[in-house]
Amino acid sequence: MSNIRNIDRYQRFLITGGAGFIGRKLTLQLAKNLENRIWIIDNLSPQIHGEDIQEPIFPSNITFIRGDVKNQNLVEKIIQDAQPEVIVHMAAETGTGQSMYEITRYCDVNILGTSILLEAINKHGNNLKRFVLPSSRAIYGEGAYREWETRKLIVPPARTNEAMQSGQFIPTSSNGIQLEPIATLEDTPPAPCSIYASTKLMQEYLVTQAAANASWQATILRFQNVYGPGQSLNNPYTGVLSIFSSQILQNKKLNIYEDGNIVRDFIFIDDVARAVELATQARLPHGTTINIGSGEPTTILEVAKTLLNLHEKPENNYQITGDFRTGDIRHAVADISKANELLNWQPQVSLKQGLSALSFWCKKNIV
C-alpha cells in the first residue's frame, strides 16, 4: 500500500545548493505554490555556473542567500531566521573523477558542510520536520550482480586499473567468476569506489544518525544519472550527456570510454524534481532510502549515437578509445519499485523525449 496518502503540507523550505541544476528546478516548482516560503543558500561555484555569474532572479516567495554551506555563522543565521519545516540538502561536490585528486575539497563540502548544517539544526531548527538528502547511486559501487553458475547475488569489488588497462572492463567476483549485472535494490550493501561516493555515503550516515533522537525524519534519495536542460555546460565534471552535446556542437569527435558498453540509468530533471517534492511531503519512516532513476539500462555508445542523430551529425563521429576513469562504474541501473510504492512516483519522460529536450536546449545555449 502506498504511503503517499500519508502526506503533510509543509510550507517553509530551505534548499542548500538551490541555484544548481536540480536545486533550481525544485525551488521553482515549490514556488508555484505562492503560500510556500523558500530560502536558498548557494555559493554559485564558478565550476558550475561560470566565472561571470550574476545572482539569479527568483520569484518573490524565494529568498536567495549567496554563501557557502561551510560558513557556520551564516548557516546558523539562515536556520534561525527561516525556521524551515523542510530542508533539502543539495549542496555538494559531485565529480567522480575530480574527487580522486581533490580529496580535501570533496570532504570539506560534502562531509564538513553537512556536519555544520546538522549542528545548526540542533541549535536553531526547532520547526524542522523533514530532511531530504539527495544522495547518489555511486554509494553502491559496482552494484548488484549475479554469478552465472550459482545465481548468487554479489557486489563485486572495484575494478582495478591493471584490469582496465588490459581491456578487462567487466567486473568479476573476487574469485574471478563471471557475473551478470542486475538492477540494484536499496538494500544492496554499499561499496563505494570513489572519494565522491564515500563522501555521499558518509552524508547518509551523518544525517540518519543526527536525527535518530530528534523530532525530524530524514529521507534519502539515491539519484541515478540526472540530465536535462539547465545542466552546466561549463563544468568538465558534469553529466556525460551535456558534455557530449557540447562536444558535438563544437564539431569534436566523441571519445567513448572503455569498449562503449558502460551502462547508465538516465533520468530526466523534471522527473527528479517531482520525486524530491513528493519526498518533502510524504510521511515516511526515518531513514527511508529510495532509488530515483528510470530503471532502464542504456549504454554510453547508444546514447552517443542518439545525440549525434539529434544534432544532425554523422552517427559514426566517435571513437572507442579504451580510456577509463579510476573509480568509474561499469553497470548502473536502479530497481525503482520502492519509489513507486512509497511515493507513487515513476518516470514520465522517456529517454528519447528527454534527449530531444536536452539537444534543443544545447543548440540555443552553446555558441
DSSP helix/strand/coil, 48: helix
| Bridging pattern class, strands 298-299 and 263-264 | antiparallel
Catalytic-residue membership of 196 = yes
How many C-beta atoms surround the C-beta of residue 32 within 10 A?
9
Q: Which of 106, 140, 145, 196 is catalytic?
A: 196
Closest among 142, 143, 170, 136 to 158, alpha carbons compared: 142
> Helices marked H in 42-85 — which ranges?
46-49, 72-82
DSSP per residue, 257-307: -TTS--EE-EEEHHHHHHHHHHHHHB---TTEEEEES----EEHHHHHHHH
Q: Rounded to 5 degrees, what are φ and ψ at 54?
A: -100, 155
CA–CA separation, 42 and 91 (whole Å): 7
CA–CA separation, 37 and 226 (whole Å): 26
DSSP symbol at 111: I
CA–CA separation, 275 and 50 (whole Å): 28
Q: Which residues are catalytic?
A: 196
